[in-house]
Amino acid sequence: MRCQICRYNLFNVEKSAINKRAKSPFLTIVVPAYNEESRLSQTLPKIAEFVNAQEYETEVLVVDDGSTDRTADVVADFTKQYLFMRLICVEHGGKGHAIKTGMLQARGEFAFLCDADLAMPITELPKFLPPQQNGFQVAIGSREAKGAVRYNEPSYRHFMGRVYNWLVKMMAVQGFEDTQCGFKCFHRSVTYDLFSTQTIAGFGFDVEILYLAQKRGYKIIEIPIHWYYQAESKVHPIKDTIRMVQDMITVRHNDRRGLYEKQLTPKLSPKN
């Protein structure tokens, strides 16, 4: 049943893109999801409520990263109720893999990455868009920028995050206090360039995308947000941190090889 749902929705995505090519939405919200049936049942209604309250046209793309639970079924039910919401199914490849798929199908002037847990309330999203922000090409949600507030995060998780951010600054992306927050916004002028060049399929994709953006000279801004710690996070504090450090090494290696100078769509690296 799940495979039938995925094929049906992929067909509808392609058909919709053809029919609406002349009228692109203002905003695309891309939600990667892996075994998120319980969370999405709670968060998709909040996203839908937000979308319905806006005057501009919005599309919501939920990318099911080969879930083994009922994630696809849950999303498919919501697509029947909300015509702006679509399901895209891919084989399991990692969070970066799912996000790349969604971002390359985004039609909005702005494409917003949104974690399925809504650790940042969806009502914070206007902070990333005009008229509150203008002239940027990449806007990243920050839990460390002045004015940001973290809620209920264990001290050890915060400490590990700061250590990782220090490593990011030393090895890849300088000038930002929080590269790993799951809420980011991209202007249409840079979306295809960045995500078609992406090679990292796992959690380390954020650093690669921001490394590329800095290399291209795109304007990047940090947006302070309110963020609520989620105990059911899919990120393992030790195992995934090691993998993300390995991904940073891969990014530097890719750059030395000249991979980021080429207009290619490289094969994704092994999943996390």
pLDDT per residue as tens digits for the range 107-149: 999 999 999 999 999 999 999 999 999 999 999 999 999 999 9
Phi and psi at residue 56, to the nearest 5° = -90, 160
For the chain, the domains span 2-261
The CATH number fitting domain 2-261, selected from 3.40.1390.10, 3.30.950.10, 3.20.20.210, 3.90.550.10: 3.90.550.10
Rounded Cα distance between 13 and 1, Å, is 18
Whole-number pLDDT of residue 248: 92
Q: What is the mean pLDDT of residues 46-53?
A: 98
| Lowest mean pLDDT, pick from 15-24, 48-57, 117-126, 205-214 | 15-24
Percent of the chain with pLDDT over 70: 86
Provide the sign of the torsion angle of the four alpha carbons 84, 139, 176, 248, taken in this order.
positive
* β-strand pairing of 184-187 with 110-113: antiparallel
Conformation bin of residue 230: beta by default, left when phi > 0, alpha when psi is -120 to 50: beta
Rounded Cα distance between 44 and 48, Å, is 6
Q: Name the band, by pLDDT with cuts 50, 70 and 90, for residue 244.
A: confident
Average pLDDT, the chain: 88
DSSP string, 151-202: ES--HHHHHHHHHHHHHHHHHT--S-S-S--S-EEEEHHHHHHHHHH----S
Short-list 170, 160, 168, CA closest to 209? 168
